[in-house]
Amino acid sequence: MPLTLEQILEETRQWPPARLAELVDSLSVELHQGTPPEVDAAWKQEARRRLAEIQDGVDQAVDGEEVSAQVRQIVSL
């Protein structure tokens, strides 16, 4: 019998961050396998642009926990 989403979440909450990042990366790759090359190229260009803005001090990165808290707050409105 396949694991439920709740079982998977409970198991992965106990994993070290590096292992969890590896899982997320693998799932992301699988999700985007059918993405047209031009869409992939556009996202790579956007990521490079955003990184350059952070490195040049034009913009600031926001902590992932802070973003998650803001999303939870918006969703619960």
> Domain tally for the chain?
2
51 and 25 housed in the same domain: no
Q: Distance between CA atoms of 39 and 32, rounded to whole angstroms?
A: 10
What range does the domain containing 74 cover? 36-77
Average pLDDT rounded to a whole number, residues 6-14: 92
Q: Read off the pLDDT band of 4 (50, 70, 90).
A: very high
Give tens-digit pLDDT for 16-74: 989 999 999 899 888 878 889 899 899 999 999 999 999 999 999 999 899 999 999 99
Q: Are residues 40 and 30 part of one domain?
A: no
The DSSP code sequence of the chain is -PPPHHHHHHHHTTS-HHHHHHHHHHHHHHHTTT--HHHHHHHHHHHHHHHHHHHTTSS----HHHHHHHHHHHHT-
Statement to judge: residues 28 and 16 lie in one domain: yes
Quick one: pLDDT at residue 31?
Answer: 84
Clarify whether residues 19 and 43 are in a common domain: no
Query: Quick one: pLDDT at residue 70?
Result: 92
What whole-number distance in Å separates Cα of residue 4 and Cα of residue 10? 10
Same domain, 40 and 15: no
Please indicate whether residue 1 or residue 24 has the higher confidence score (pLDDT). Answer: 24
| Same domain (yes/no): 27, 46 | no
